[in-house]
Amino acid sequence: MFDQNPHPIPSLKRWKVLLAGILANLCQGAAYASSVFAKPMMTHLGCVKTGTDGMMAPDMTKWAIAFSINLTCLPVGMLISGKLSHRRGPRMMVAVGGVLFGLGMFLAGFSTSFLMFVLTFGVLMGLGSGGAYGAIVSTSVKWFPDSRGLASGMSVGALGFGTAIIAPAAVWLMSPDVASGIPVLFAFRVLGVAFLAVISVASMVITDPPHGYAPSGFTARPDASVSAIDFRWTEMVARWKFWLLYVTYTCGTFSGLMIISQASPIAQDMTKLSKELAATIPAAIGLANAFGRMLWGLVSDWVGRLQAIMLMFVITAVAMFTLPQTVGERTTLLVASVFIGLCYGGYLGIFPSLCADSFGPRHLAVNYAILFSAFSVAAIAGPQVGAKIKAMTGSYDNAFIIAGIVSATGLVAALVTHFSINPRSASAK
């Protein structure tokens, strides 16, 4: 695809762009850390219900709705960002996305009703996050045609590191000695201002490379799984491979979103941890999520995208099927959650590169936004399945089993995709 570099640019330039994207994405880990807000926010808004023990408790199905709406708005923001950044450049879209994201979190700190919380935390934050995230990821991949998996893994891995930082920081901000007024609202306001400022500054560095850019000395290797054609979105959705990847992506992120959306409540309810200790579970998942995006992105550069995805499905399925037996102890819950977080991060780290490989990098911002809508399907289904089964049975066990089945289904979809692209592999088996 590239045999020489027609645009000699200092190699340091692309690393500056990548690091700026990482800094902005650190802030966007707030959505994954938000389970620490779940119980206090639902209590503040009066969203409570009678639990299976007859006691009043925060309504986690309401929380799951708000969380799902936040993540469902992500691809919408990404699609808008993809369209506009192609004309205006990624710098503007990251700045606008950062303003919407920070403002949404700040205004959520003034919520007096569930509807207001959904509109601020759910819609405004989700659209802003999608706008900034989409521009950051697509730009990072374009600057690293020689290491797409690593670049996208590092870029999106920042969200996981952000989770590990933001979860304990939010708990600290909600402590009586620190908070002013209502603790959960105070935390939202402080973090919203901080995120707006950081993302706005980072956006100043983020620019697209010239079309056809390749680093000095880079020569693309022939690969049947890498497209030599840049497909527009209308051409992409007409191909069977897109829909197989769509199913694979949905199944891959289902389990992680179920756990992430309710990590702190799961730890508090199933292992009887205090809210301070329970916050270590989403923080650990955040770190695993971050390392998983980089680790699996690098692995996919070595062994192939789909091969790495298939291995992650095996690990995820085993973890989900064993969770009913391990969720009762903090240590075993932590271990299972880390494996789930590693693989969840891997799916998100690999799929931007897989989309670029499959349909070309030129229209990646729009193409990946459309493929990323599969994430929205999982963002609706995963948290809702977990919350509703917990409400009906008082336990998450059946939800974990369902997630294991979904992971097994994703493995089948990935296998079909792999063998369809590489028929010789199938005959060799």
What CATH number did the domain enclosing 415 receive?
A: 1.20.1250.20
In a domain, 112, yes or no: yes
Per the DSSP assignment, residues forming a β-bridge with 56 are: 50
In a domain, 162, yes or no: yes
**Residue 217 buriedness (CB in 10 A; 0-12 / 13-18 / 19+):** exposed
CB 78, CB 100: distance < 8 Å: no
Per-residue pLDDT, 272: 65
Please name which of 428, 407, 412 lies closest in space to residue 255, comparing C-alpha atoms. 407
Per-residue pLDDT, 246: 95
CA–CA distance, 30 with 286 (Å, rounded to integer)? 10
Regions of the chain with pLDDT less than 70: 1-11, 50-55, 149, 217-228, 270-279, 421-429
Per-residue pLDDT, 115: 95
In a domain, 153, yes or no: yes
In a domain, 217, yes or no: no
Q: Which residues have C-beta within 8 Å of that of residue 259, sequence separation ≥ 6?
A: 266, 285, 337, 340, 341, 344, 386
Per-residue pLDDT, 427: 35
Domain housing 16: 11-212+229-428
Element (H, E) at 49: strand 48-50
Per-residue pLDDT, 30: 83
CA–CA distance, 174 with 38 (Å, rounded to integer)? 12
The pair of structure tokens assigned to 256 is: 């992680």
In a domain, 340, yes or no: yes
In a domain, 3, yes or no: no
In a domain, 6, yes or no: no
In a domain, 82, yes or no: yes
Number of domains forming the structure of the chain: 1
